[in-house]
Amino acid sequence: MRYLIFFLSFLVFSCQQTTTESETNDYDICIYGGSSAGVIAAHTAEKLGKSVLLISSDKHLGGLSASGLGATDIGNKYAVTGLARDFYRRLGDHYGKLESWTFEPHVAEQLFNQYIDNADVEVWYNYRLQDATKEGTVLQQITVENAADGSTKTVSAKQFIDASYVGDLLAKADVSYTVGRESNELYGETINGVQLREYHQFPPFKNEPHYVDPYVIEGDSTSGLCYGISDEELAPDGTGDEKLQAYNYRLCITQNVDNQVPFARPENYDSTNYELLRRLILQREELGWEQKLNYFYLSIIAMPNGKTDINNKGAFSTDFIGMNYDYPEASYERRAEIEEEHRAYIEGLFYFLSHEPSLPDDLRNEMLSWGWSKDEFTDNGHFPWKMYIREARRMVGEYVMTEHNCLGDEVVDDPIGLAAYTMDSHNCQRVVVRRDGKAMVKNEGDVQVGGFPPYPIAYSSLTPKREECTNLLVPVCLSASHIAYGSIRMEPVFMVMGQVTATAAAMAIDGETSVQTIDVSALQNALSTKPYLDGRLADILIDNEDQELVTVGDWGTLKGGFNLKQNKININYTKDDVADKSIRFELPELTEGEYDLYYYVPNIRKEITWSETAKMRLYDSEGTPTEETVSLVDQAQSWVRVTNVDFSQNPIEAVEIVTQGGGNYIPADAFLLLDAKKVEL
């Protein structure tokens, strides 16, 4: 009997082992993180013929781009290429235009899901990283846990991509990283580390003739500090530390009463948490300042269909300053607590602004006119799913991007994409300083330095040091100093880097080599010649910076616009006061391909009014013109379709913008040729 039991036990064990082996999770590329970068990376890898697994710690894909951040931060849209550009064009299709850089959260999430469905990507939802195994420099496998029931799965892959906002996989893989702000001394920078400047004070406007007292009982230092103020001694400017720029949520609210959920009093609401804001509002009221939400307290950015993307604005707003320091290294349980604390803070802030009796009636009534958008985040109380993690861990890889790259003082030799945004850090702490013998509260850490053109990102800033790991790529928590990351860390750039890393991972597999030693020139060629991975040709930009334009009549340079490539103020224009002034753009020598031709309408300055229409003459190889007229009404800062051009049938060599005597102005900034082929997801 004993032998029978042993035999049966062995049989059961063998069956279990067979089942485990049959369920071995083995892929070419494993992507950890359901962010926008993760989705684009997964779509790319499948389109390149690789077996792919996307692991999301959330139940929703798309990260911040599907969780309220509908006001795209980019600085210069020319920097956005490949599938990232495709993303904003498909949003444009939804809203009836070429591109849409503002959008509703649920529309973005639907589009991310379409990318996944189109490529038939396998996705594991609500799985979070537990462990990783390496042999030498090769990451062999990872173990992930189901957040709901605690069950685990093990995944092996030839290549891994950490597309998370926090950098959990790179940390588990023992890759070097940093958290917080480097000192200026480390990389020879000027705006890293502690940054306390007079124009970054609390209040944020240097001309305000008042200060906000930091103590619970005003003027009484023994009464303790108001909520949210640090009691740490402030370090000198440029000093490194482990403090993080503040997190918040990007919020979708509306004034449409038919699609509105009122702001409710949160559980455990404490109005004293907003005492500094109350003091600030009342001081402005005493000075006769106009109390408008969008002037000082909330950045209210209009989205389609009467909705918003709300971001932090001013000295006291949706940023929960100083309350996120332990998030990057925290347990999943502690992270959930921090997320809930941030949510409670914002819900309390909205309730305070709409119900606090000591506030001016006009301000409270304005806040009461808003409410949560009923048709957004329907399984989360209409509150965004994803907290805005502006930075967490940052890899220290083969190359570290710094302030010098942003300013163009140093240029990388392995460029694979562009960044274009201002070097941007939100506040990191709220402290007490003394001015004129008085104690006052000030915010520290805010930096906004821009004005530079798009600059290249190094491929080697996406790779770990080769002695640490040779089959991991990092498109989000990439290798950059705190202040350089503040420029790079934009959702469109993350999507571009997602495509880059997936393409590089596929090349490493095909070449049986490490991610550090792939042919970067071949990577650059793949990204530029096959940007959409669906047979469509690359875009062709014809910009006024790229050629000498032949003009007839008086054409000048408009000050105050922007150039698509260099952020320069250089838009040719003329007054449409007489007929037949012209400006000629030469098109590239193409003999095949069917394209749609688009004309760019720059943003309108107050003293400039564009004509309602623009007339174009298109010249074929024999100099024979055809004419097209396009409407410029409500088209500021957008591309307007002119016509279809089939170069295999009738090559077009040039296009002229021709005045008609309408009286207003005509711009001449750029044209764009887009593959006319329509590809549905």
Beta bridge partners of 374: none
Decide: 526 and 68 in contact? Cβ < 8 Å. Answer: no
Condensed to tens digits (0 to 9), the pLDDT of residues 228-285 reads 999 999 999 999 999 999 999 999 999 999 999 999 999 999 999 999 999 999 988 8
For tokens 């509306």, what's the residue? 254
- 138 φ/ψ angles, rounded to the nearest 5 degrees: -105, 120
Other CB atoms within a 10 A radius of the CB of residue 89 amount to 16
Q: Which residues, including other chains, have CB under 8 Å from residue 323's CB and lie 6 or more apart? A: 228, 246, 247, 338, 341, 342, 345
- Facing residues of 674 across strands? 596
Computed from CA positions of residues 558, 561, 563, 568, in that sequence, does the dihedral angle turn out positive or negative?
positive
Closest to 65 measured CA to CA, from 48, 46, 90 = 90
Compute CA distances 31 → 24, 40, 80, 636, whole Å: 17, 10, 22, 39
Query: In sequence order, what are the beta bridge partners of 117?
Result: none
Alpha-carbon dihedral 94, 97, 100, 106, rounded to 10 degrees: -10
CA 99-662-599 angle, to 5 degrees, is: 25
Q: Is residue 73 exposed (0-12), middle (13-18) or buried (19+ Cβ within 10 Å)?
A: middle
Transcribe 33-96 into DSSP letters.
--BHHHHHHHHHHHHTT--EEEEESSSSSBGGGGTT--B---S-GGG--HHHHHHHHHHHHHHT
pLDDT attached to residue 394 = 98
What's CA 562's distance to the chain center, in Å? 21
Phi, psi of 617 (to 5 degrees): -120, 125
For the chain, residues with pLDDT lower than 70 are: 1-24, 198-210, 559-569, 605-606
Q: For the whole model, what pTM was predicted?
A: 0.94
The residues that bridge with 620 in the sheet, in sequence order, are 652
Instruction: Name the nearest CA neighbour of 69 among 431, 423, 439, 318.
Output: 318
Nearest to 445 by CA among 204, 174, 84: 204
pLDDT number for residue 18: 36
For 5, phi and psi rounded to 5 degrees?
A: -60, -40
The DSSP output letter for 295 is I
If one counts every other C-beta atom within 10 angstroms of the C-beta of residue 356, the result is 16
Q: 605 — phi, psi (to 5°)?
A: -80, 160
Task: Return d(Cα 630, Cα 596) in angstroms, integer.
Answer: 14
SS (H, E, C) 497-528: HHHHHHHHHHHHHHHCCCCCCCCHHHHHHHHH
Identify which of 429, 428, 417, 427 has the alpha carbon closest to the alpha carbon of residue 488.
Answer: 417
By the 8 A CB rule, do 539 and 58 touch?
no
CA dist., res. 212 & res. 229, Å (int): 12
Question: Residue 206 has which token pair?
Answer: 């240097």
3-class secondary structure, 116? helix
Distance between CA atoms of 339 and 476, rounded to whole angstroms?
20
pLDDT tens-place string over residues 299-322: 999 999 999 999 999 899 999 999
d(CA 427, CA 320): 9
Tokens of residue 516, six digits: 């550090």
In angstroms, the first-to-last Cα distance of the chain is 62
DSSP state of 200: G
Residue 52's nearest CA partner among 503, 679, 517 is 503
CA neighbor of 544 nearest in space, from 529, 557, 530, 531: 557
Using DSSP bridges, classify how beta strands 25-32 and 152-162 pair: parallel, antiparallel or unpaired.
Answer: parallel
Cα-based torsion angle of the residue sequence 266, 267, 273, 278 in order, rounded to the nearest 10 degrees? 40
- The reply to whether omega before 492 is within 30° of 0 (cis) is no
Q: What secondary structure does DSSP assign to 637-675, as a single string?
A: TEEEEEEEEETTTS-EEEEEEEEES-SSEEEE-EEEEEE
Q: ω into residue 266 within 30 of 0, thus cis? A: no
Amino acid at 292: K
Kindly compute the dihedral angle of the four CA atoms of residues 585, 590, 592, 596, in this order, to the nearest 10 degrees. Answer: -20
Q: Dig out the tokens for 342 from the structure.
A: 């941030």
